Amino acid sequence: MSRLTIQMLDGPYAEQHSSFDVDVVTFGRGGDNALVVSTEHASRHHGELRLIDGQWMVIGLSGNGTKVNRRTIGEKPVALRDGDVVGVGRSEMFRVRLADESTPVAAAASADSDAGASAAKNRNRTWMMIGIYWIVIVAVFMALTITFDDEGAKAGEAFTAEQIRAEIQRRSPRVPPDDRLAAIALNEARQYLDQPTSAGSLFFAHQSYKEALAYQGVQQFGAGDDQIAFMDTEQRLIERVTEQYIDANTYLLGGQWDRAKDAFTELAEMYPANTSTSALAKHVSHQIDVAYSKQGKKRRRLR
């Protein structure tokens, strides 16, 4: 499998490298993305990098367009090669580096002396042991934190109302101050509230407000309409998500698998956070899998 490394080409993190060991890497201006970009014209949720059948693909999700090596792509997955550049408009966002994890070892074995080859094998053995160690640790952790049903599926430990509130109120990661991007985020928040287009509009409005705070380098907007709207949006989101979660989990615990599946799916649409950065979103996705499993079905996922 090729290891994915991203080299940023624009913004305050230009020339920095980030590596990912997951199958899906979302990118965009929103702080809930696995890869946050600040390129002009980039959308909050601009696109995704997906590992499909051992091949890294890029999917464009923005109406502003996504380009690979200056060629426009759409929502159909496009295969990536080492060195490909992903951008928007005339701007380049990042370069994709794909290194076959077996290549460095093979090269070292052919070029080095017998002693060098032996050292390489020892390093491989060391990394293998570290990998096994972490697999065991993760397995033990899951065994301690997941409640097992009598047969088949595993129902995740329920979230409390306090945990839901704490996650929603968690502020976006710090970013370099940028008044222009803060203004864009504020405008997007207002648009999501004024013209809701999906079940997740309240969530996206809240995320945009938090993004604006991050770019302003503050915890609140101060006295004014924006602070009032932000607090109202946050409270409404907390109440809706908590109420929907309680209903969905009640169906699941009561063995009403079909209603639980529908309720958790509706919750995922209402709270479409990234499962790689949100514990609640990951938990909701797992509960949907449980409901499907209890019906003897397998959940179909978008690839």
DSSP for 57-118, please give it.
Answer: EEEE--TT-EEETTEEE-SS-EE--TT-EEEETTEEEEEEEEEETTHHHHHHHHHS-HHHHH
Residues 270, 266: Cα–Cα separation, whole Å: 6
Residue of higher predicted confidence among 177 and 155:
177
| Residues forming a β-bridge with 100 | 2
Nearest one of 96, 44, 43, 107 to 69, comparing CA atoms: 96
Per-residue burial over 144-182, b if 16 or more Cβ lie within 10 Å, else e, is eeeeeeeeebebbeebeeeebbebbeeebeebeebeebb
The phi, psi pair for 177, rounded to 5°, reads -55, 140
Q: Which two tokens stand for residue 258?
A: 């079909």
Kindly tell me the burial class for residue 138, based on how many C-beta atoms sit within 10 Å of its own C-beta (0-12, 13-18, 19 or more).
Answer: exposed
Q: pLDDT (tens digit, 9 = 90+) per residue, 184-217?
A: 999 999 999 988 888 889 999 999 999 999 999 9
Measured over all CA atoms, what is the biggest interatomic distance in the chain, rounded to whole angstroms?
71
Q: With cut-offs at 50, 70 and 90, classify the pLDDT of residue 303.
A: very low
Which are the contacts of 30, defined by CB distance < 8 A and separation ≥ 6?
36, 44, 45, 207, 208, 211
In 146-196, where does DSSP find H-type helix? 161-169, 179-194
Per-residue pLDDT tens over the stretch 228-244: 999 999 999 999 999 99
Rounded to 10 degrees, the C-alpha dihedral 13/11/271/55 comes to -70
Residue 21 and residue 127: Cα distance in Å, rounded?
15
Q: How much of the chain exceeds pLDDT 90, in percent?
A: 46
How many Cα atoms sit within 13 Å of 229 on the Cβ side? 20
pLDDT of residue 113: 41
Which two tokens mark 72? 């426009």
pLDDT of residue 126: 53
Torsion over CA of 247, 274, 206 and 249, rounded to 10 degrees? 10
pLDDT band at residue 265 using 50, 70 and 90 as cut-offs = very high
Q: Give the number of other CB atoms < 10 A from CB of residue 98.
A: 16
- CA distances to 32, 56, 57, 75, 261 from 303, rounded to whole Å, are 20, 12, 10, 11, 20
299 confidence band (pLDDT: 50, 70, 90)? low
Q: Which two tokens stand for residue 12?
A: 């305050």
Q: CA distances (Å), 225 to each of 9, 216, 282, in order?
A: 36, 16, 33
Report which listed range, 52-61, 134-143, 156-165, is most confident: 52-61
Mean pLDDT, all residues of the chain: 81
CB atoms within 10 A of CB 52: 13
Confidence band of 27 (pLDDT split at 50, 70, 90): very high
pTM of the full predicted structure? Answer: 0.53
